[in-house]
Every structure is written in structure tokens, then in C-alpha cells.
Amino acid sequence: MAETYSLAVKGARADGLPTPVKNIKVADSVSGSFGAMQNAMQNGTQFLCKNPDGSQSWYTFDPERSTFTNPVLRKV
């Protein structure tokens, strides 16, 4: 299955600086709508993100600190 990445969604690493990292692209399958993001937060769904260097890593949303406009990511 091919993953697609949204160009508009940014994520911040939970263990990093509080400002969003613009180059981490979150998969459309979990960031495309509020319902998809909410479901991923509730279930702790792991998803692929594209890192600034072009590599891919698995992440989850930090449900306590994330909002739809400012997602906070935890690397798995």
C-alpha cells in the first residue's frame, strides 16, 4: 500500500522544541479530517511520517497535547 503525505499538515515532535517542525509530513490517512485524527488519537494508531531528510518513521499522536491545527507527534 502506498502512503501519501499531506503538504499542509505539520507536526511537532513531543520530545523536541515547542514550535512545529514544518518538514515532518503526516500521512493523509490520519490527518485528512478531524474525525480521522481524533480516531487515531483515541486508538493510538501508528502512522508513517516523512522526516526532514526524506526518510520515513512511525509516529503516534500525543493525545494530551495535540489539537487538529497543532498535532504533537511521538516517534515510536
pLDDT tens, position by position, 7-63: 556 666 666 655 555 567 787 778 778 888 888 899 999 988 888 788 888 999 988
pTM (2 decimals)? 0.68
> Could you tell me the CA-to-CA distances from 34 to 11, 18, 51 in Å, in that order?
15, 22, 22
Q: pLDDT band at 1, cuts 50/70/90? A: very low
Q: Which domain holds residue 52?
A: 5-75
Domains identified in the chain, total number: 1
Closest CA to 10 of 40, 36, 35, 31: 31
The residue with greater pLDDT, 70 or 2, is 70
Closest CA to 76 of 5, 1, 14, 6: 14
Please report which residue ranges of the chain form alpha helices under DSSP H. Answer: 28-31, 34-43
C-alpha–C-alpha distance, residues 33 and 55, integer Å: 24
What is the predicted pLDDT for the residue at 46?
A: 92
